[in-house]
Amino acid sequence: MNPRFLLPLLPLVSTSFAADPAVKVTVGHSTEANVFKPGEVAPPAMNDAGAKAFFKIVSGKADENCGVLPVLQDGKAAGNDDDPEHNFFFGIGEKGGRISADLKGPIDLKEVATYSWHSGERAPQIYKLYGSDGSAPGFNAEPAAGVDPASVGWKLIANVDTHEKGAGQHGVSITGENGASLGTFNRLLFDIQANDDPNGWGNTFLSEIDIVDAKGPALQRYERKIETLTSKDGKFKYILDSSESPDLADWAKINLMPVMEEWYPKIIAMLPVEGYTPPDTIYFTMKQATTLPGYAQGVPAYASGNNVTLNANFMRDQQGGEAVGCAIHEIVHVVQFGSPGGSTRGERPPTWVTEGVADYIRWFLYEPQAKGAEITKRNFGSANYDSSYRVTANFYDFVIKNHEKDLMRKLNLATHNGYSADLWKEWTGKTADELNEAWKAGNKTRLGIE
C-alpha cells in the first residue's frame, strides 16, 4: 500500500509525499451527499489572494459545458456531485491541461487549497503545483504541454494525487510543515492530469482554487445554507440552497418547497415515458442576479438536469406573485429532461413544444385563476401556435378541450421518442396550421375583433 495513506486514526485525511520534504499535502475526502464538507480540509475561502488573481488556460481546452475560469475563485464549492456550471474542467478526450494564476505581485505563500466534487471519475485530483517569482533566466510564463516547467524557471512545489480516495468530495491543502511559508511567488502553475476513464470523461471537476497570502487578511469562509425536504412517501428529496439569499430561506420553506413536493409527483404522473424515470432528487439554488451567468441575469429561473436555479431577486420581488409558478415551470423541465435517458431518441422537438408544455401545466393546471396565458386584444395579432411559452400554452388548452385530452402525455412521448409535425394530424385529424386557424378564429370572435 502507498505510505501516503497510512493514517489509521484519521480515515478522511492523508498526508502525501510532496516535491519538497518541507511541504505538507493534506487530502480531505467525504461522501456527504448534500453539503460540501471535504473531511478535515477547511471549506473554500472568499477573500484569499486567489480571488484577485488572473487565471488563464495555458494548455488544453475547457469543456463547452463547464463554468468559466472565475468559478475557481468565487469562494464557493459546487452545489452537488454533478454541477458542471459551477466547476471548471477540461474537455472530453483532453488528458488534462495547465492553468496559470498571475498573483499580480509577489506574495508570501502560506497555502494552496483545491476543491472538487463528483460522483465518478471526475472527482479525484491529480496535478503538480509549480511557483515562480519570474526572475529565473529564460523564464517562460506559459510553458506549453510537453515542456517541463522546471526547465523554464518554475519551482516544483508539490505533487498531488487523490485518486485512491475515489468518488465524492475532495479537498487538498498544500502548506509548509509547521506553518512555514511555501516561498515567495507571483505566479503559480497547475499542471493537471486527467483521471483514467475509457471514454475520456476523467477530467476533474474543479470548483475552487484558494491561494493564501501569509500576510493577507483573516480568511472568510463561505457558509452554505442547505435545507432538505423528503416527501412523505420517502420517494423524493427537494434540496434548497439559500446561501446567497438567507432572507428568503423561511419563505421558501413555507411557500415554495411544499408546492414542489405536491406537484413534482403529479407532473411525473402526467408525463410518463416507458423506460425513463425522472430524477428522485431536485436541487433548488437561489442565486443573486449578479452571480448568475450573463445570459441568465434577467430570467426568473432555469433548469439544467435536476438542478433548478432561481433568481433570488425575482423571487424576492414576486413572493406573492409569480415566484412559485415559475418554479413549477422549471420542474416540468426536470421531468422532461432531468435524468440520463431524457434526450430525444428521434428528431428533437422545437423549443416551443417543450416550453409550451411547461407553461400549460403552470398556467392552466397549477394556477388557472391567475389567467396568465390569456389571449387578449393586445397580443392577438402576434399570437401563433408556435409563439412558445404562454401563447403556445393557450393553444394547447384549445386543442385539449376540443380535440385531444391526452395531449400533454403525447407531446412528452414525442419529446423522448422523436417529434414530427405530422403527429398533429395523427392525434387530432388536423394539421397544426389548421388547428391554429380554428384557435385564432375562436379568439377573434371572443374578443370581438373585426
Block residue for cell numbers 517569482 = 133
* Angle at which helices 323-337 and 351-360 cross, to 10°: 130
Angle, alpha carbons 237-331-301 (nearest 5°)? 115
Question: Cell 403552470 maps to which residue?
Answer: 362
d(CA 285, CA 307): 8
Is pLDDT above 70 for 243?
Answer: yes
Cβ count within 10 A of residue 3 = 10
Contact 212, 45 (CB under 8 A): yes
- Tell me: do 342 and 394 sit in the same domain: yes
For CA atoms 336, 243, 74, 158, give the dihedral sign.
negative
pLDDT > 90: percent of the chain = 82
Residue 222 domain-assigned (yes or no): no
Residue 218 lies in a domain: no
Residue 211 Cα to chain centre, angstroms: 24
pLDDT average, residue stretch 85-104: 95
Residues 191 and 291 in one domain: no
Q: Are residues 119 and 58 in the same domain?
A: yes
Residue 295's alpha-carbon distances to 93, 184, 222, 299, in angstroms, are 28, 39, 25, 8
Do 275 and 417 lie in a common domain? yes
Predicted pLDDT of residue 221: 85
End-to-end CA separation in angstroms for the chain: 85
pLDDT of 4:
34
- If asked whether residues 156 and 248 sit together in one domain, one would say no
Q: At what angle do helices 407-417 and 351-360 cross, to 10 degrees?
A: 150
Q: Are residues 162 and 85 in the same domain?
A: yes
Element spanning 401, H or E: helix 389-402
Domain end among 213, 238, 257: 213
Q: What is the pLDDT of residues 295-326, one digit of tens each?
A: 778 899 999 999 999 999 999 999 999 999 99
Residue 410 to residues 407, 416, 427, Cα–Cα distance (Å): 5, 10, 9
Provide mean pLDDT across the span 27-48: 91
Domain-embedded: residue 264: yes
Q: What is the pLDDT of residue 18?
A: 45
Q: How far is CA 224 from CA 35, 78, 192, 370, in A?
A: 8, 11, 28, 35
Separation of alpha carbons 363 and 375, rounded Å: 13
How confident is the model at residue 20, as a pLDDT?
65
What mean pLDDT is reported for the chain? Answer: 92
Three-state DSSP class for residue 212: strand
| 186 and 240 co-located in one domain | no
51-80 residue pLDDT tens: 999 999 999 999 999 999 999 998 988 988
**How big is the chain, counted in residues?**
450
Choose between 373 and 8: higher pLDDT: 373
338 part of a folded domain = yes
pLDDT computed for residue 104 by the predictor? 96
Whether 15 shows a pLDDT value over 60: the answer reads no
Domain residues for the domain of 186 are 3-213
Choose among 137, 138, 135: nearest CA to 183: 135
The last residue of one of the domains, among 185, 213, 241, is: 213
Range with the poorest average pLDDT among 7-16, 115-124, 170-179: 7-16
Q: Average pLDDT, stretch 250-276?
A: 96
Most distant CA atoms of the chain, gap in Å: 87
**Residue 356 falls in which region: left (phi positive, over 0), alpha (psi -120 to 50) or beta:** alpha
Does 431 score more than 70 pLDDT?
yes
In a domain, 221, yes or no: no
CATH number of the domain enclosing 236: 1.10.390
- Considering the domain boundaries, does residue 184 fall inside one? yes
Distances in Å between the Cα of 39 and the Cα atoms of 112, 344, 429 are 16, 40, 62
418 lies in some domain: yes
CA atoms within 13 A on the CB side of 416: 22
Q: Amino acid identity of 196?
A: D
Q: What's the number of domains the chain is made of?
A: 2
Give the integer Cα–Cα distance in Å for 97 and 62. Answer: 9
Among 172, 191, 213, identify where a domain stops.
213
- Non-local CB neighbours of 316 within 8 Å, separated by 6+ positions: 245, 247, 248
CB 416 within 8 A of CB 382: no
User: Is the same domain home to 200 and 130?
Assistant: yes
Domain CATH number, residue 175? 2.60.120.260
Do 265 and 206 share a structural domain? Answer: no
Mean pLDDT, range 185-192, rounded to an integer: 98
Distance CA 27, CA 7 (A): 11
Does the global pTM surpass 0.85? no
389-402 vs 407-417: helix axis angle to the nearest 10? 120
Q: Which residue has the higher pLDDT, 3 or 314?
A: 314
294 and 191 in one domain? no
Taken in order 337, 75, 191, 294, the sign of the CA dihedral is: positive
Q: Is residue 333 domain-resident?
A: yes
d(CA 170, CA 449): 64
Residues 196 and 249 in one domain: no
Rg (CA), the chain: 26
Mean pLDDT (whole number) for 262-279: 96
Predicted confidence (pLDDT) at residue 5 exceeds the cutoff of 80: no
Q: Do residues 90 and 171 make contact, with C-beta atoms less than 8 angstroms apart? A: no
Strands 281-287 and 301-304, sheet pairing:
unpaired
**Taking the mean position of all CA atoms in its chain, how far away is CA 239?**
14
Does residue 148 register a pLDDT over 80? yes
Those residues with Cβ within 8 angstroms of residue 266's Cβ, 6 or more apart along the chain or in another chain: none
What is the structure's pLDDT at 19?
57
Residues 333, 401, single domain; the answer is yes
Confidence band of 130 (pLDDT split at 50, 70, 90): very high
pLDDT at 442 over 90: yes
Cell of 77: 464549492
Distance, CA of 348 to CA of 76 (rounded, Å)? 35
Q: Please say if the pLDDT value at position 16 is more than 50.
A: no
Confidence class for position 33, pLDDT limits 50, 70, 90: confident
Q: Which residue has the higher pLDDT, 391 or 346?
A: 391
CA–CA dist 192, 98 (Å, integer): 6
Q: What is the pLDDT of residue 343?
A: 67
